[in-house]
């Protein structure tokens, strides 16, 4: 059997149920060329958490619940705020 490996793209996506990460490669979904491409490939599942890591810097560039993946956190306000 011959296995063909594709090169790792820039953005690494890890996904798991909130509070139950398996750790490292067990949570690895895939790698993508852009953040929007990575977000497109996440299922909006209640209680599922994601992290997108920039392979070059190894820093988390976006994280949260998949159900809120398209939300802009800067627009969120507490209910009692004007």
Phi/psi of residue 64, nearest 5 degrees:
150, -170
Question: Which pLDDT score is estimated for 71?
Answer: 77
Q: Contact, 62 vs 13, CB < 8 A?
A: no
pLDDT number for residue 81: 57
CB 45 within 8 A of CB 67: yes
Q: Name the pTM for this structure.
A: 0.78
Phi and psi dihedrals of 78, rounded to 5? -60, 150
pLDDT tens-place string over residues 43-77: 998 899 999 999 999 999 999 999 888 877 677 67
Q: What is the pLDDT of residue 52?
A: 96
Q: Any idea where the domains of the chain sit in the sequence? A: 11-72
pLDDT digits (tens, 9 = 90+) for 12-39: 999 998 777 777 778 999 999 999 999 9
Residues 22 and 16: beta-carbon distance below 8 Å: yes
């Amino acid at each position: 059997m011959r296995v063909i490996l594709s090169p790792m793209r820039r953005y690494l996506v890890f996904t798991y149920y909130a509070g139950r990460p398996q750790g490292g490669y067990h949570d690895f979904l895939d790698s993508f060329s852009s953040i929007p491409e990575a977000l497109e490939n996440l299922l909006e599942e209640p209680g599922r958490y994601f992290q997108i890591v920039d392979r070059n810097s190894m820093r988390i560039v976006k994280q949260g619940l998949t159900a809120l993946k398209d939300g802009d956190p800067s627009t969120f306000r507490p209910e009692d705020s004007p």
